[in-house]
Amino acid sequence: MKKILIVDDAPFIRNQLKNILQPLNFDIYEAENGKEAIEIYIKIKPDLVTMDISMPIMDGIKALKEILNFDSKAKVIMVTALGHKTSVLEAIEIGASYYIVKPFDNNKVIKSILKVLNK
């Protein structure tokens, strides 16, 4: 079973993503900031991470760099609010696999995740 780590400081966003992904039968793990995401990533080595960009303690860009330093093949999809284009481009340049935009379009989220998992 594929493992997915959902990283977002907002519990309702994590729940939204969990609900979208539930029918796909993934093992779902959660983290509420970048620091926690790195710790969990190292422990469980998920197949995919969805990473919010703006979070307290450690933002998604810093966490992305750390995860890629640990595992250069990590598959990380950045999650961003509309209007954070610069941060998304920076994340893609660093090595993020893709990005999804809030508010979520369930079908686009599923397609994006399956596309990245099958790369």
Query: In which domain, by residue range, is 9 found?
Result: 3-117
Residue 2's alpha-carbon distances to 5, 22, 45, 89, 113, in angstroms, are 10, 12, 10, 27, 11
The two most distant CA atoms of the chain are separated, in Å, by 35
Residue 81, pLDDT score: 84
Report how far residue 98's alpha carbon sits from residue 24's, in angstroms, rounded to the nearest whole number.
Answer: 19
Residue type, 17: L
pLDDT, residue 39, reads 98
Q: pLDDT value at position 60?
A: 97
CATH at residue 106: 3.40.50.2300
How many distinct structural domains can be found in the chain?
1
28: three-class secondary structure by DSSP: strand
pLDDT of residue 1: 92
> Model's pTM, two decimal places?
0.95
The pLDDT score that the predictor gives to residue 55 is: 94
pLDDT along the chain (119 residues), means of 10: 97 97 95 98 98 95 98 97 82 96 94 94
